[in-house]
Structure 1
Amino acid sequence: MDALADVLDGVRARSAEFCRAVLEPPWALRIADGSALALVTVLRGQAWVVPDAAAPVPIRPGEVAVVRGPHPYTVGDDPGTAPTIEVLAGGRLRTTDGADLAADVLGGRPGGPEPDGATVLASGTYQVSGDIGARLLAALPEVVHVPRHADVAPVLDLLAAELQRNQPGQQVVLDRLLDLALIATLRAWFARPEAEAPGWYRALGDPVVGPVLRLVHDDPAHPWTIAELAARAGASRAAFARRFSELVGVPPMAYVTGWRLTLAADLLRQTDATIDTIARRVGYANAFALSVAFKRVRGITPRHHRLGPATAGHLTVSGGAGPEWVHGDG
């Protein structure tokens, strides 16, 4: 695993959250489903993603937009078209006047008719929770727009072809293709200069720091020290620490501590494992050691974190380097 693989591992398309829409102009949909992340692509025609507080973004066939929620936004044939349909959580539809609509009002049945001049959209929404997922959300602008790209186009072509069929197991195929489209789109986006990719992503391509990051993500419970990390990187301690800090934005052992506590935070909320078990899984000798580090860095104990309200993560961003992590014990 690496840093990107870890943050994407918990992001999956769900059948109920896939949508295919066939829309004749003028049209506009108000997306208010509260999802943390959405992927929108145009299979035919043209669409605009219109955030409430940012410039409209055009999407043409072969292009992809990834929208960071949970705030509502509009997708329409033109930035000036007023929405007439609201898309709510669970795929529920209603008019902007509040009247419920049937699920098939968007003409979304795979293999169904597509009138001349209609726009055909495919989209998927993702519920991203926990501190690991927050690392991804913190790295993205409100709308990621990727023009037709060699790494993304084959997946979109497969998606378009699958939508012309109506075969057994199709929903699973569509969900997997949406997952692939999201991964390919994010990699294509982070490779663009304007993306200002987070430090943990940029560092993955570095021949010195990248392999070390993968080691830490593969085995966070290992008793890592700065000396061992530097040795694994084939560099002196001083040179390795300086290079790591410059690329990632935090010192090596602060990253190790931060990643361990991020894993622990999600395990506390998402499992019923004991605090002692979680401590050992993420590299602490016992529950007491984890509690001391957790309280020092996050300001609360693991027990209070587990009992507190679920969130999409509390991480903050510092200079594009990723979460702000206090230097810890490692």
Structure 2
Amino acid sequence: MDVLTDAVTAMRTGHPHSKRHVLTSPWGMHFRDDYGAAFHVVLQGSCWLLPPGDAAPIQLGVGDVVFLQNAAPHGLADHPDTPTSPFDPTRQDAPPAGDGAATVLLCGAYVLDVARPHPLLATVPPMIHLPARLGQRDSLRAAVGMLGDELSNPRPGSTGVVGAFIDTLLLYILRTWFEEQAREVPAAGWARALHDPAVGGALKAIHDAPERDWTVAGLAATAGLSRAAFAGRFATLVGRPPMKYLTWWRMTTAARLLRESNQPLATVARQVGYASDVALALAFKREYGLTPGRYRNGHSPAAPKIHQTLI
């Protein structure tokens, strides 16, 4: 698995959700305060995004994509001056609308564990706006088109297809943003790390085999750099030294395995590079503040909370 896929997989829990809305002006929707990630895509017509906080409204046209990493209160409306009404996406009620010009929106959300975000996603701004650009972002537009088609024309198998397309769309949105950031001069941080042959190669090696007995020298050899040059470059781009990142990723992977499987602790330990369940338990408690068993059972109030957003 690659680093971006791993980062999203580590945070995601539950099933993503998406819905196609047909609205006629005047209309305005206010989305409640939740944690997770949400996206909006304009399939037809135009509208205005009313961002969180005091940010100025943003006009959206056909093909525009908006991604909100933490779905803070925000609104969508046919005009910035149109009053917005609270919209509960968990209900089947149609959004408020009038009898004017039509706008078709594709809206969706991901259920994320925000208690321990991957540092890669921590560098993503609270809101990403990807305007439609002719001849660019073809993969992203294709994913949007296929998802919109499945939602407007459900067929046998659509339930599984829609979930896969929503997952794919999230990766396309993030990949597009990181690729465009990497082209900035000067590029820095995770946008550069993912595209840096040395650091990117070392990250891939860690994610491909977290159970290996990695050392800084071994990772430097994988990166094709001296030990000192690699350690400095890695820490600058990733934000932490190689061994600290390795430990963090091992603990994050262990937590996901504890949440999602009933594997014995000794098996989980071997998969993340620890010789015994005792060694893993000690490292896990240092990182999370509770034992793997208590984390798995979810009895402790200190256990990371899972927040859900449905849009």
Category of TM-score, reference length = shorter chain: 0.7 to 0.9
Report the CA distance between 1:197 and its aligned residue. 8.6
SS in 2 for 1:223: coil
Give the Cα separation in 1 of the matches to 2:54 and 2:26.
22
Counterpart for residue 78 of structure 2: 77
Return the letter of the residue paired with 2:32. Answer: A
Give the Cα separation in 1 of the matches to 2:115 and 2:253.
8
Note if 1:213 corresponds to 2:203.
yes
Report the CA distance between 1:38 and its aligned residue. 1.2
Note if 1:156 corresponds to 2:131.
no
Counterpart among 301, 305, 310 of residue 311 in structure 1: 305
Q: Summarize the Cα distance change of 1:207–1:180 in structure 2 as closer, same or farther, 3 Å threshold.
A: same
Report the CA distance between 1:13 and its aligned residue. 9.3
Task: Please list the CA deviations of residues 109-165 of structure 1 after superposition, one character each: whole Å capped at 9, or x if unmatched.
Answer: xxxxxx872000011211112767655653332221111142222333444555664
SS in 2 for 1:191: helix
Note if 1:143 corresponds to 2:127.
yes
Report the CA distance between 1:8 and its aligned residue. 2.8
Counterpart for residue 53 of structure 1: 53
Counterpart for residue 318 of structure 1: none
Give the Cα separation in 1 of the matches to 2:30 and 2:79.
13
Counterpart for residue 123 of structure 1: 107
Q: Summarize the Cα distance change of 1:283–1:13 in structure 2 as closer, same or farther, 3 Å threshold.
A: closer
> After alignment, is 31-40 or 196-205 more displaced?
196-205
Q: Is residue 20–residue 106 contact of structure 2 (8 Å, CA) maintained in 1?
A: yes
Report matched runs for 1:76-95 at 5 Å. Answer: 76-88=77-89, 91-93=90-92
Return the letter of the residue paired with 2:219. Answer: L
Q: Is residue 4–residue 201 contact of structure 1 (8 Å, CA) maintained in 2?
A: no
Q: Is residue 7–residue 136 contact of structure 1 (8 Å, CA) maintained in 2?
A: yes
Task: Please list the CA deviations of residues 57-109 of structure 1 after superposition, one character each: whole Å capped at 9, or x if unmatched.
Answer: 33211110012334332221123322235124xx315xxxxxxx3xxx359xx
Return the letter of the residue paired with 1:311. Answer: K
Task: Please list the CA deviations of residues 177-233 of structure 1 after superposition, one character each: whole Å capped at 9, or x if unmatched.
Answer: 333332222112123349999834431211111111111101101111112111222
Counterpart among 162, 171, 181 of residue 183 in structure 1: 171
Identity %: 38
Q: Summarize the Cα distance change of 1:66–1:277 in structure 2 as closer, same or farther, 3 Å threshold.
A: same
Q: Is residue 24–residue 117 contact of structure 1 (8 Å, CA) maintained in 2?
A: yes
SS in 1 for 2:84: coil
Give the Cα separation in 1 of the matches to 2:85 and 2:114.
34
Q: Is residue 231–residue 241 contact of structure 2 (8 Å, CA) maintained in 1?
A: yes
Q: Is residue 42–residue 60 contact of structure 1 (8 Å, CA) maintained in 2?
A: yes
Q: Summarize the Cα distance change of 1:148–1:210 in structure 2 as closer, same or farther, 3 Å threshold.
A: same
Q: Is residue 28–residue 75 contact of structure 2 (8 Å, CA) maintained in 1?
A: yes
Q: What do you get for the CA RMSD once the two structures are aligned?
A: 3.1
Counterpart among 229, 245, 263 of residue 253 in structure 2: 263
Return the letter of the residue paired with 2:272. Answer: V
**Uncovered stretches (5+) of structure 1, i.e. residues with no partner:** 94-100, 108-114, 314-330
SS in 2 for 1:272: coil
Give the Cα separation in 1 of the matches to 2:263 and 2:160.
31
Give the Cα separation in 2 of the matches to 1:274 and 1:131.
24
**Uncovered stretches (5+) of structure 2, i.e. residues with no partner:** none
* Alignment coverage as a number of residue pairs: 293
Q: Is residue 29–residue 87 contact of structure 1 (8 Å, CA) maintained in 2?
A: no
Moved over 6 A (4+): 194-198
Counterpart for residue 96 of structure 1: none
Q: Is residue 66–residue 127 contact of structure 2 (8 Å, CA) maintained in 1?
A: yes
> After alignment, is 164-173 or 79-88 more displaced?
164-173
Return the letter of the residue paired with 2:70. Answer: G
Note if 1:288 corresponds to 2:278.
yes
Counterpart for residue 62 of structure 1: 63
Return the letter of the residue paired with 2:78. Answer: D
